Amino acid sequence: MPEEVVTASGHEHVSAEHASTFEVTSDDWLTPAGDCIVGVAADRVPTDFSEEFVTACRDADARITATFEAAGIEDVVTGRGDPDLTFEGDRSLVGRTSDYVDERTVMVEADRSAEGLDRKLVTALSRGASLTVTFSVE
């Protein structure tokens, strides 16, 4: 099962209130308007993901999971792949509850967005906790 691991940092403006997406960005800053962003200063973006992982995600039947871990709290979001996924985003990665795809999209039809994440996890991230997101595809 191909896997990709992204590490990032929480930020005081992490609110995780967005109803249809979650995002992790390589930017090292965040404004209160970024209510989908759950991590900043990510060490990897979609363009860094392996060809094996990208190819596996381009199957419409692929099941993609994103496991978020910070301060000992874990939460898992599940979505699916899509033939239109490009993994060309060089700044951020986005999971979507819809089937919309752009260069940042790493999963579609996610079962939850930022607002659905465990609130203890979100609180830890708003206090600056380190974040690890492990993406796997099967």
Domain residue ranges of the chain, discontinuous segments joined by +: 3-137
Q: What is the structure's pLDDT at 126?
A: 98
Strand order in the sheet with 92-96: 37-39, 21-25, 92-96, 105-107
3-137 has which CATH code?
Answer: 2.60.120.630
51/22 Cα distance (integer angstroms)? 23
Token pair 């979100």: residue = 122
pLDDT band with cut points at 50, 70 and 90 for residue 1: confident
Q: How many CA atoms lie within 13 A of 40 on its CB side?
A: 20
Q: Which secondary structure element, helix H or strand E, spans residue 37, and what is its range?
A: strand 37-39
User: Cα(first)–Cα(last) distance of the chain, in Å?
Assistant: 6
pLDDT, one tens digit per residue, over 34-79 is 999 999 999 999 999 999 999 999 999 999 999 999 999 999 999 9
Strand order in the sheet with 63-70: 3-9, 130-137, 63-70, 73-80
Q: Decide if 11 contacts 27 (C-beta within 8 A).
A: no
Q: What is the structure's pLDDT at 25?
A: 98
Q: What is the structure's pLDDT at 30?
A: 96
Put simply, whether the predicted model's pTM sits higher than 0.85 gets the answer yes
